[in-house]
Structure 1
Amino acid sequence: MSLTAVDYFCGMGGSSSGLVEAGFEVQVALNHWSRAIETHSANHPNTEHLCADIQQVDVRYLPKADLLWASPICTELSQAGGRKKPRDHDQPGLWEEHGHVPAEAFERTRVTFWEVLRYAEVHNPAVILVENVVEAADWHLIGTWLHGWTSLGYDVQLVCVSAAHVGGEENDPAAQWRDRIYFGITRKDVPLLDLEPRPLAWCEKCGRDVEARQWWKPRAKRINGMPVGKYGPQYLYVCPEGDHGPVEPYVAPAASVIDWTDLGVRIGDREAHGLRDLGPKTMARIKLGLQTIADPVLIGAGGNTWDAASGAKNSYLRAWPLLESPTPAQVTAIQNGIAMSEPFVTMSRKHGRNHPVSAGPVPTFSAGGFHHGLTIPPGAFVSAHHGGYATADPSMNKPVTEPLRTQTAQLNKSLVIPYRKGAKPYPATADALSTLATREQHALLQAAIEVEDCYFRMLKPREAANAQRFARTYVITGNQGEQQMQAGNAVAVNVASWLGRRAGDALGWGTSHRTHQTAA
Structure 2
Amino acid sequence: MPTAIDLFAGLGGWSTGARAAGVQVLWAANHWPEAVKWHAANHKHTQHVCQDLHQARWEQVPAHDILLASPCCQGHARARGKRSGNPEHDASRSTAWAPVSALEYHRPEASVIENVPEFTNWVLYPAWLQAVQALGYQAAPHIVDCADLGVPQHRVRLFMVLTRSKAPLMLQLPQERHVAASSFLDFDAGRWSQIEKPGRAQATLDRVHNGRQRFGDRFIMPYYGKGSGTTGRDINRPIGTITTLDRWALVDGCRMRMLSASEALAAMSFPADTLRPDSHRLTMNMAGNAVPPLAGQRVIEALLRAA
Shared fold (TM-score, shorter chain, > 0.5): yes
Deviations 1:373-431 (A, max 9, x none): xxxxxx4111112334xxx478451011110001000011110011xxxxxxxxxxxxx
Report deviation, 1:109. Answer: 5.0
Contact 1:158 1:184 (C-alpha < 8 Å) held by counterparts: yes
Please say which structure displays the higher CA radius of gyration: 1
Q: Distance in 2 between matches of 1:255 and 1:290?
A: 17
Match of 2:35 in 1: 36
Aligned with 1:487 (options 268, 283, 287)? 287
Change (3 A) 1:270 1:49: farther
Q: Distance in 2 between matches of 1:501 and 1:460?
A: 30
Report deviation, 1:457. Answer: 0.4
Change (3 A) 1:412 1:196: same
Change (3 A) 1:132 1:126: same
Deviations 1:160-208 (A, max 9, x none): 1111001xxxxxx21000000111100137x8645233415xxxxxxxx
Match of 1:115 in 2: 98
Change (3 A) 1:17 1:183: same
Match of 1:289 in 2: 211
Deviations 1:220-249 (A, max 9, x none): xxxxxxxxxxxxxxxxxxxxxxxxxxxxxx
Change (3 A) 1:280 1:51: same
Aligned with 1:196 (options 158, 165, 172)? 172
Deviations 1:111-164 (A, max 9, x none): 521111100111101001000011112111112211112211111111111110
Q: AA paired with 1:504?
A: L
Contact 1:264 1:455 (C-alpha < 8 Å) held by counterparts: no
Contact 1:28 1:49 (C-alpha < 8 Å) held by counterparts: yes
Change (3 A) 1:268 1:406: closer
Report deviation, 1:11. Answer: 0.8
Q: Does 1:385 align with 2:223?
A: yes
Q: AA paired with 2:171?
A: L
SS of equivalent residue, structure 2 residue 26: strand
Q: Distance in 2 between matches of 1:152 and 1:497?
A: 26
Match of 1:407 in 2: 242
Report deviation, 1:260. Answer: 2.4
Report deviation, 1:56. Answer: 1.5
Q: Which runs of 5+ in 2 are unaligned?
A: 83-88
Match of 1:398 in 2: 233
Q: Does 1:265 align with 2:192?
A: yes
Q: Distance in 2 between matches of 1:65 and 1:26?
A: 9
Contact 1:82 1:408 (C-alpha < 8 Å) held by counterparts: no
Q: AA paired with 2:68?
A: W
In the TM superposition, what are the counterparts of 1:14-33 in structure 2 within 5 Å?
Answer: 14-33=13-32
Contact 2:171 2:303 (C-alpha < 8 Å) held by counterparts: no
SS of equivalent residue, structure 2 residue 178: coil
Q: Does 1:156 align with 2:78?
A: no
Q: AA paired with 2:300?
A: G
SS of equivalent residue, structure 2 residue 138: strand
Report deviation, 1:292. Answer: 1.5
Match of 2:298 in 1: 498
Q: Does 1:133 align with 2:116?
A: yes
How many residue pairs are counted as aligned between the two chains? 301
Match of 2:275 in 1: 475
Match of 2:51 in 1: 52
Q: AA paired with 1:55?
A: H
SS of equivalent residue, structure 1 residue 125: coil
Q: AA paired with 1:15?
A: W
Change (3 A) 1:417 1:44: same
Q: Does 1:185 align with 2:162?
A: yes
Contact 1:177 1:403 (C-alpha < 8 Å) held by counterparts: yes
SS of equivalent residue, structure 2 residue 233: strand
SS of equivalent residue, structure 1 residue 398: coil
Match of 2:85 in 1: none
SS of equivalent residue, structure 1 residue 399: coil
Contact 1:14 1:490 (C-alpha < 8 Å) held by counterparts: yes
Contact 1:81 1:408 (C-alpha < 8 Å) held by counterparts: no
Change (3 A) 1:33 1:198: same
SS of equivalent residue, structure 2 residue 108: coil
TM-score, with length taken from structure 2:
0.90
Q: Distance in 2 between matches of 1:157 and 1:21?
A: 23
Change (3 A) 1:487 1:270: farther
Q: Distance in 2 between matches of 1:197 and 1:268?
A: 42
Contact 2:3 2:66 (C-alpha < 8 Å) held by counterparts: yes
In the TM superposition, what are the counterparts of 1:340-359 in structure 2 within 5 Å?
Answer: none
SS of equivalent residue, structure 1 residue 145: helix
Q: AA paired with 1:199?
A: Q
Aligned with 2:182 (options 255, 262, 273)? 255
Q: AA paired with 1:456?
A: M
Contact 2:207 2:229 (C-alpha < 8 Å) held by counterparts: no
Match of 2:86 in 1: none
Q: Does 1:279 align with 2:262?
A: no
Change (3 A) 1:48 1:107: farther
In the TM superposition, what are the counterparts of 1:290-369 in structure 2 within 5 Å?
Answer: 290-294=212-216
Q: AA paired with 2:153?
A: Q
Q: AA paired with 2:305?
A: D
In the TM superposition, what are the counterparts of 1:420-435 in structure 2 within 5 Å?
Answer: none
Aligned with 1:461 (options 250, 261, 277)? 261
